[in-house]
Structure 1
Amino acid sequence: MSVTVDDDLWSAIGDPIRRRMVDLLLADGAGTATTLSRRLPVTRQAVSKHLVVLNRVGLIHVTPSGREKRYQVDEAQLARAVAQLADVGSTWDARLQRIKRIAEAIQRGQEKETIPKN
C-alpha cells in the first residue's frame, strides 16, 4: 500500500513546539491557547499562531468555549499522519536493504579479486 505524503501536514508537524502542543492536547484531551502557553516556552500569541497552522492542516479542530476556543487533536488526521510515516519508513527500509545487498555484492567481488590464484 502506498500512501500519498501530505507535505503541508509534515511541515506543520516538523516544528518542535507544534509537536509538543499535539502531545499536550493528546495527553489532556483538549486545551486552550492559554492553558497550552502555560506549559510551553512561548507566548500565548505564539501558541495561537501555531494552533492556526495545526488547524489549517486538519490535525486539530476547534470548539468555541466562552471567550476562548478549545482545541482537540483530530484522531482521523493523526491516524492518517501515522499511516504516512509508516509508509515512508517501509519505503526507506526497502531502499536500505537494496543498498545493503549491493554493498555486500561489491564486497564479495573485491574479496574474490584478492584471493590468490594458483
Structure 2
Amino acid sequence: MNSNSQPIPGKPVRGSKTGQPIMVIFDLLGRSWSMGIIWHLNNGPSTFRKLQEYCENISPTTLNKRIKELTIADLIERTVDGYTLTKQGLELFKLIHPLGKWAKQWAEDIKNQ
C-alpha cells in the first residue's frame, strides 16, 4: 500500500486492509494540512496563496497534492472565488467541529492533571 496514493473506500489505507470508509476518511484527514485546509475553508472561499499562508507556508507541491486529494474526495472544489467546501465538506466540518471543542477540553484536562 502506498500511503501517498489517493485514499479510496474499498482500497487498502493506513489502518485498514479492506479500505473501510471510516479508515479512508481518517487516512485522508490525517495527511499534513488536510484538516487545516477544511477548517480554514469553513470560513469561506480562499485562494491558493491564502491557503498557503494559513498553512504556515506549506510548500506549493504539498498544497497542490492536498487540494487534489480533497477535490477528488468531493470535500472541496474550485470556484471563481477560490477554493471552497462542497456540500460533503460542509457536512464533514459540522461533524469534526465538536471533536475540536472536545479536544481543547481534553488537552486542558490532561495539562491540569
Q: Normalization by structure 2: what TM-score?
A: 0.53
Structure 1 unaligned blocks of 5 or more? 87-118
Task: Name the residue aligned to 1:39.
Answer: 54
Shift of 1:78: 4.0
1:14-65 CA distance string (max 9 Å, x none): 22411011111112x01122111112131223211110011111111122x4
- Residues 4-43 of structure 1: matches in 2 within 5 Å? 5-27=21-43, 29-41=44-56, 42-43=58-59
Task: Calculate percent identity across the aligned residue pairs.
Answer: 16
Structure with greater proportional helix content: 1
> Distance in 2 between the 1:80 and 1:45 partners?
25
Q: Which amino acid counterpart does residue 60 of structure 1 have in structure 2?
A: I
For these two proteins, the number of residue pairs brought into alignment is 76
Give the RMSD, CA atoms, in angstroms. 2.8
Q: Is the 8 A contact 2:74 2:88 kept in 1?
A: no
Shift of 1:7: 3.9
1:51 to 53, 60, 67: 67
SS at match of 2:74: coil
Q: Normalization by structure 1: what TM-score?
A: 0.51
Task: Name the residue aligned to 2:108.
Answer: none
Structure 2 unaligned blocks of 5 or more? 1-19, 100-113
> Distance in 2 between the 1:30 and 1:76 partners?
15
> Which runs of 4 or more aligned residues in structure 1 lie more than 4 Å from their structure 2 counterparts after TM superposition?
none
